[in-house]
Amino acid sequence: MNTQYFRYALEVERTGSITQAASNLFMSQPTLSKAIKDMEETVGFSIFKRTSKGVVPTHRGLEFLAHARKIAVQVQKMEQALHREDTSHHLFSLAIPRVSYIAQAVSEYISTFGGGTDMEFDIMETNSMNVIDAVADGVFVLGMIRCHEEDREYFLKYLKEKDLQYESVWRSDYVALMRKDHPLAPRSALTAEVFLPYVEVAFGDETVPYIRTSEAEAVSGSLKNKKRVLVYDRATQLDILRANPLAYMWVSPLSENVLQSNNLIQLKCTAAGKFEDFLIYHSGYRFSRQDRAFVDNLYIRRNEVAYPE
């Protein structure tokens, strides 16, 4: 069987739609439908079925897709190994959360490659659950995730279920990020209650699935604010904080140059929760020189914000 067919089937499973999968794969819908039909004839059973909710895997289809996912990952690893023999062409694949020091590490790592070097960098910035799924499915080789302290065990269990390895990169307290002229800026020993009159900026898709609403409220901590602006990228986050003197956001500590360039400050709060960042990858994956170079730079950027001079 053509291993490319595995990619087709996995995209159909991910989107739940032949039409959308075909669009994402840059192929026609009839061509993809025929490929899926040929695949089902080869294996001798239906991989997908149509329902009111879209195209979903059959019971045997789920088993087939689990094997297809593992094969697709191995094929990707072999392709990467072949490319590594050619030192004139550099490949790097990374999915990350919306975290400033990680994004800075990525940007500075990419800047080390000169104009005469052939390279292909695939970087996706999204929430931690999407990062895990993207690495598990072989779409990205490396990933970074962030979890709240209350969610740590859930995430580690999920990583194990996905057959992913991890290493802890940084565990620390959140700080409150705001303009230098924010009403809370002159205050010290901040508590959760003093933030209630102000506008919290928060990422809108940082959810942990499969937990009840009451549990979701518990893991969000006592700092939940009813005045909220939900955003989905770091650029919008910074734009809102710069423009609104009453806005704030809970973040990991930022470097001094980021604070200065955006006219922001970061303050500690006695009730702020903790976060932990992890580097994730498939079990047994062997890091390339490019991977290691990025990780080295990642720890340098972490040290700058974790241990400022």
Residue-by-residue pLDDT tens, the chain, 309 positions: 566 788 889 999 999 999 999 888 888 888 889 889 988 988 899 999 988 888 999 999 998 998 888 887 776 665 665 555 555 556 788 999 999 999 999 999 888 876 666 777 889 999 999 999 888 888 888 999 999 888 899 999 999 888 899 999 999 999 999 999 999 999 877 888 899 899 999 888 766 655 433 333 433 444 556 788 888 888 888 999 999 999 999 999 998 888 999 999 999 988 788 999 999 998 878 888 788 889 999 999 999 998 876
Question: Are 288 and 163 within one domain?
Answer: yes
Question: Are 107 and 139 within one domain?
Answer: yes
Containing structural domain, residue 25: 4-80
Q: What is the pLDDT of residue 277?
A: 96
Strand order in the sheet with 228-231: 228-231, 199-203, 247-251, 175-179, 264-267
Question: Are 9 and 91 within one domain?
Answer: no
Question: Are 53 and 102 within one domain?
Answer: no
Question: Are 155 and 106 within one domain?
Answer: yes
d(CA 123, CA 108): 13
At 303 the three-state DSSP class reads: helix
Boundary (domain end) residue, out of 20, 49, 80: 80
Question: Are 162 and 288 within one domain?
Answer: yes
Question: Are 110 and 188 within one domain?
Answer: no
Total domains in the chain come to: 3
In this prediction the pTM is 0.68
Question: Are 191 and 67 within one domain?
Answer: no
C-alpha to C-alpha distances, 76 to 4, 37, 81, nearest whole angstrom:
11, 24, 9
Count of Cβ atoms closer than 10 Å to residue 281 Cβ: 18
Side-chain-side CA neighbours of 296 within 13 Å: the count stands at 9
**Which CATH number does the domain housing residue 208 bear?**
3.40.190.10
d(CA 26, CA 32): 10
Residue 12 and residue 36 in contact, taking contact as beta carbons nearer than 8 Å: yes
Boundary (domain end) residue, out of 30, 54, 80: 80
C-alpha to C-alpha distances, 263 to 175, 231, 245, 309, nearest whole angstrom:
16, 20, 11, 20
In degrees, to the nearest 5, what angle opens at C-alpha 40 toward C-alphas 39 and 42? 65
